[in-house]
Structure 1
C-alpha cells in the first residue's frame, strides 16, 4: 500500500478529482465564513480575530457529494452566495461532530 505522495497513487484520476472536490469545498466554505464573519461584525457582534483564525473551511456535512448538480446561479443570489442561515436556529450537536469522522 502506498502513500499519497507515491507516484503510483498520485497519478490516478480519482486522486486528482478528489483534490478538485476538496479545493471546491474549501473555496465555498471560505466564502461563506467570510460572509458570516462580515455580517456578525456589521451587526455589532464581537468577533475576535483569534477565534476567527480557528475556524476551518474543511467542514463538509452541508455539501451534497452525491446527486445532481447545476452550475447556473439563480439571478436572485447576491454576490453568488445563498442567504445566510438564521443565527437563532438551533443546530443538532450531532451534526457538527459528523464532519470530524
Structure 2
C-alpha cells in the first residue's frame, strides 16, 4: 500500500522559494561569514562571485541546489551583492551563461558544507 508522506503543497514548495526571505532568514542563510567571503572572493568575475554566494546561501536555506541557481528572489541577490561590494546586482544574469561554472561551484559548495543529497545518504 502506497503512503504519501508529503502533501501536494509540500511537494510544490520543496526546493523553491515561495516568497521573499525575511530579513532574519537573509541574515541566517545568506550572510557571508569569513569562510563564505574567502571562497567567493576567489572567483575572478563579479557575476561568478555573486552566483557562487547565492548558491551557497540557497542550499543552506532550502536544503537543495536549484536547477536554475539564479531563480531566487531579487531580495537575495541584492543582499548578497551588497556584502560583496557589487554595485550592479543584475550582473548575476551572466552567471547563467555557463552551466559548467555553476556545476563546478555546486561541487565546491558541497565539499565546503559536507552536503549530500538525501538519496546519497541512503546508499
Q: Do they superpose with TM above 0.5? A: no
Structure with greater contact order relative to length (CA < 8 Å, sep ≥ 6):
2
TM-score (norm 2): 0.24
More helix by share: 2
TM-score (norm 1): 0.28
